[in-house]
Amino acid sequence: MKKIIPILFIIFMFYFLTNEQEILIPKDAIRFRIIANSNKIKDQELKLKVKSSLEEDLNTIMQNAKTSSEAKQLLKNALPTIRKKVSQYTSDNKVELGQNYFPEKKYHGLTYEEGTYDSLVITLGQGNGENWWCVMFPPLCLLEAKNNNSSDVEYKLLIKEILDKYQS
C-alpha cells in the first residue's frame, strides 16, 4: 500500500504535465487584451508598461464583481480612468469594451480557443504587434502575477478552483 501512493502521485503528475487539459472558461468571462503597435522592442516594452499600469486597478475592480454583468458595468464606469491612464503612455491608442476577437493561446498546458469574446481591448498605435491577454473575470489575471513560479499542475488546479467558485 505504501508503494501505491507514490506511484499514483507520479502518474497523476505525469498526466497533468504531459497532456493539455481542457479547462473551459465560462461563456460570460471577460477578457483583457493589449495589442502593441509593432514587434519592435520599444513597442513591446510600452505594451508591458501599460499592462503593469492598469493591472492593479483592474484587479481591484474585478475583485468587487460577483457576476459578469456587474464586472461589465464596473468596467464601463472605469473607462474614462482607463483611457486617461493609457493616454499617459501614448496618445495613439484605442480602448474598446465589448465583443472583440481573440486568437488561440496556449499557456501552462492549457488551450484557450480563438473566438469573439466580451473584453476590454487596448490597441496601441497601429496594433500590428504581439499581444498580451488574460481572463479578467473570473479574475484569472491575478494568477499570473501571483504564480509566476508555480508548476503547470498548480496553475491548472488553481484555475479550476477559481472557475468552479464563479460557476456556482
Q: pLDDT tens digits, residue range 17-74?
A: 445 455 556 778 898 999 999 999 999 999 999 999 998 888 888 888 888 899 999 9
Residue 6 lies inside a defined structural domain of this protein: no
pLDDT value at residue 147: 43
* pLDDT given for residue 145 in this prediction: 45
Residue 104 has what pLDDT? 83
| Residue at 57: amino acid letter | D
For residue 156, pLDDT beyond 70: no
Q: In whole angstroms, what is the distance from residue 156 CA to residue 158 CA? A: 5
Task: Tell whether 161 is covered by a domain.
Answer: yes
Task: Give the pTM.
Answer: 0.72
Residue ranges making up the domain that contains 93: 24-167
Q: Determine how many CB atoms are found less than 10 A away from the CB of residue 49.
A: 14
Per the domain annotation, does 67 fall within a domain?
Answer: yes
| Domain assignment of residue 147, yes or no | yes
Least confident of 12-16, 73-77, 129-133, 153-157: 153-157
**Does residue 8 form part of some domain?**
no
Q: Total domain count for the chain?
A: 1
Is 91 a member of any domain? Answer: yes
109: left (phi over 0), alpha (psi -120 to 50) or beta: left
Q: How confident is the model at residue 143 (pLDDT cuts 50, 70, 90)?
A: very low
pLDDT tens digits, 82-122: 999 999 999 999 999 999 988 887 766 667 788 899 999 99
Task: Please list, residue by residue across 82-92, b when 16 or more beta carbons sit within 10 angstroms of its beta carbon and e when fewer do.
Answer: beebbeeeeee
The whole-number average pLDDT for the span 139-152 is 52
Could you tell me if residue 1 is inside a domain? Answer: no
The answer to whether residue 10 is domain-embedded is: no
